Structure 1
Amino acid sequence: MNHGETAYGLWSLVIINSAIFIMFAFSFFKPANARDWRTFGAFAAFVVALFVEMYGFPLTIYLLSGWLQTRYPSLDLMSHDTGHLWSTLLGEKGDPHFSSLHIASYIFIGYGFYILSAAWNVLYYAQRRHKLATTGLYERVRHPQYVAFVLILLGFLLQWPTLLTMLMFPVLLFMYGRLAITEENEMRKQFGAVYDNYAQRTPRFIPHIFKTDSPV
């Protein structure tokens, strides 16, 4: 196993990158109640866990070091490129930052932040008018902001998978699903039949590719 200059122990980068992404998401999401803060807090925990392993301490590489060293004896486990595990496991050559999965991760993350921003604008003006948000992205799905968070998290997993974040991802999916149901029950109490009609024609998370009569 070769050893170059270590790419870890860079705790200032952990703090800076975590702060950038968390504040960026905060500026779009703008949590306003306890449910919003739970949603945002779970996302923030995922981001911190990700960057701790990306620049601080590579726990996943450490735990898999025996297996990786056996399968890839010439691999420098402490290099930054090795942390892009999908590229390593798929045997891709060259800079992993330009791999197809890495490029796809940028698309998921960028599109997720776009959805987060666009959805918040619709929701903000609907709440000011004490109306149900049913326009823009809310015309396609009932919970675009949760969809946005999932796309961003999935993008991070494509870019830099770790054992901890891969374990957190299904937990967050379940959590966002439960929060969505709670939110729907509150909207149904507030808007009654108006919300029922909206829910009947609008999918919860996955937009219709073709027009149908029932939500997915």
Structure 2
Amino acid sequence: MHDAAPAYGLWSLVIVNSAVFILFAYTFFKPQTSRDWRSFGAFSAFLVVLFVEMYGFPLTIYFLSGWLQSRYPNIDWFSHDAGHLLEMMFGWKTNPHAGPFHILSFIFIGAGFILISAAWRVLYDAQQTRSLATTGPYSYVRHPQYVGFVLVMLGFLLQWPTILTLAMFPVLTVMYVKLARDEERDARVEFGEAYAKYAADVPGFIPRLSRILRQGSAGTYRHG
């Protein structure tokens, strides 16, 4: 049976999905400072651009349509499922929502939101006592919330890659690194030697495998 439902031009879905995911991210991140709002605003812009292409106007598909149609002639590139470019290009023959890239994207997105939430709770408690956040996710990396945002964006790129979001991803990543450096300068002023020791022991963004294994072994021993 031919499905006459439009694949794009669904601007109500653009608005609803953008609002839902932005509010969802807000409940995890809970921005307070101007720096928080800048990072959250950039992430929100990424989501809006993503959903505009996902449901509104498929700019990437139009831009690549000639190459896609010649390279993959048996695919209707203006169907909604075809927007999952990686699933289509790698020949996933069934529903793309059950494809490996889509499943992996949910793992990244879920892990990112969980990391943002867990880090916020630790940071909030530390702010209440004006102490340095060093437990939970902060025991693995110094900037877990920014790592969480990058994981969520990476997950969406795996699920629905577009030219604009691919262009935004490195720009936002660099912005988060710069914001993290600003935060570190403030922390060094406030906490002095304590932060210097913490920074020397804990990496900024990528956890050390040895530390993960050591922490996991310690947790197993304590709860065994």
Does the TM-score normalized on the shorter chain lie above 0.5? yes
Paired AA for residue 28 in structure 2: F
Larger helix fraction of residues: 2
RMSD: 1.5
**1:11 to 2:22 alignment:** no
TM-score under structure 2 length normalisation:
0.91
Q: CA deviation at 1:3?
A: 9.1
Q: Which residue of 2 aligns with 1:71?
A: 71
Q: Is the 8 A contact 1:3 1:77 kept in 2?
A: no
Q: Which residue of 1 aligns with 2:147?
A: 147
Q: Which residue of 2 aligns with 1:106?
A: 106
SS at match of 2:68: helix
Q: Distance in 2 between matches of 1:72 and 1:136?
A: 47
Paired AA for residue 16 in structure 1: V
Q: Which residue of 1 aligns with 2:45?
A: 45
Q: Distance in 2 between matches of 1:149 and 1:35?
A: 14
Q: CA deviation at 1:211?
A: 4.0
Q: CA deviation at 1:30?
A: 0.9
SS at match of 2:209: coil
**1:164 to 2:164 alignment:** yes
Paired AA for residue 111 in structure 1: A
Q: Distance in 1 between matches of 2:153 and 2:26?
A: 15
Q: Is the 8 A contact 2:28 2:120 kept in 1?
A: yes
Cα distance per residue 1:23-63 (max 9 Å; x no partner): 01111111111111110011000000000000000000010
Q: Distance in 2 between matches of 1:71 and 1:204?
A: 42
Q: How many correspondences in the alignment? A: 211
Q: CA deviation at 1:4?
A: 5.5
Paired AA for residue 17 in structure 1: N
Q: Which residue of 1 aligns with 2:219?
A: none
SS at match of 1:64: helix
Change in CA separation of 1:26 and 1:211 when aligned onto 2, cut-off 3 Å: closer
Q: Distance in 2 between matches of 1:6 and 1:66?
A: 21
Q: Which residue of 1 aligns with 2:87?
A: 87
**Same amino acid, percent of matched pairs:** 62
Q: Which residue of 2 aligns with 1:22?
A: 22
TM-score under structure 1 length normalisation:
0.94
Q: Distance in 2 between matches of 1:74 and 1:196?
A: 58
Gaps of 5+ in 2: 213-224
Q: Which residue of 1 aligns with 2:35?
A: 35
SS at match of 1:15: helix
Q: Is the 8 A contact 2:140 2:211 kept in 1?
A: no
Q: Distance in 1 between matches of 2:70 and 2:142?
A: 48
* Segment of structure 1 superposing worse, 5-14 or 203-212: 203-212
Q: Is the 8 A contact 1:5 1:79 kept in 2?
A: no
SS at match of 2:79: coil
Q: Distance in 2 between matches of 1:124 and 1:78?
A: 46
Q: Distance in 2 between matches of 1:77 and 1:89?
A: 11
Change in CA separation of 1:121 and 1:32 when aligned onto 2, cut-off 3 Å: same
Q: Distance in 1 between matches of 2:152 and 2:211?
A: 27
Q: Distance in 2 between matches of 1:125 and 1:43?
A: 24
Q: Distance in 2 between matches of 1:3 and 1:211?
A: 53
